Structure 1
């Protein structure tokens, strides 16, 4: 008998924003977060606008309707950010 392991990519089941961080809870139990300021449109958004994040495409995408911004969960998990980390003053 042949068996095949099917690796299922984790998807988002919950998303929220807090203090300019976007958090995702994934189907595999992980919670990941990323700074909104790593994306052009999100970096200009208010805290209230960031909190309007919605999960779309069966958990594979994040959507901010008012901002007309979409991100893939896979892209976030892979660290495909648009902007560098802001430099910190010493």
Structure 2
């Protein structure tokens, strides 16, 4: 028996929205992918301004949040892969944000 390999073309992201609990990505082929925001702890712990400060990278095959040092690929979203960041790395990042959060609370 012979099986042929299926070539899957990954569509590009065209736009995104971040809500209180969902990351929604609008794709060039007309689909919209929604995943739990909890899959991406940096986005979960970000301010709304930080969540909205994103740009498409790699001709739309990825999304980058400069303020959060977060990158998410469309391919990973389609495969249903949440963040693979280790707990140690995330905790270090979160601790580095503590002075920023404290500064914001003083205003």
Which structure shows the higher helix fraction? 2
Runs of 4 or more off by more than 4 Å in structure 1?
A: none
Equivalences for residues 1-90 of structure 1 within 5 A:
7-82=8-83
- Provide the aligned length of Structure 1 versus Structure 2: 79
Give TM-score scaled by structure 2 length. 0.63
3-state SS in 2 of match to 1:80: coil
Give TM-score scaled by structure 1 length. 0.73
3-state SS in 1 of match to 2:81: coil
Structure 1 alignment gaps of length 5 or more: 1-5, 84-90
Check the 8 A contact 1:15/1:55 in 2, yes or no: no
Which structure shows the higher strand fraction? 1
Q: Which residue of 2 aligns with 1:3?
A: none
Decide which structure has the larger Cα Rg and report it.
2
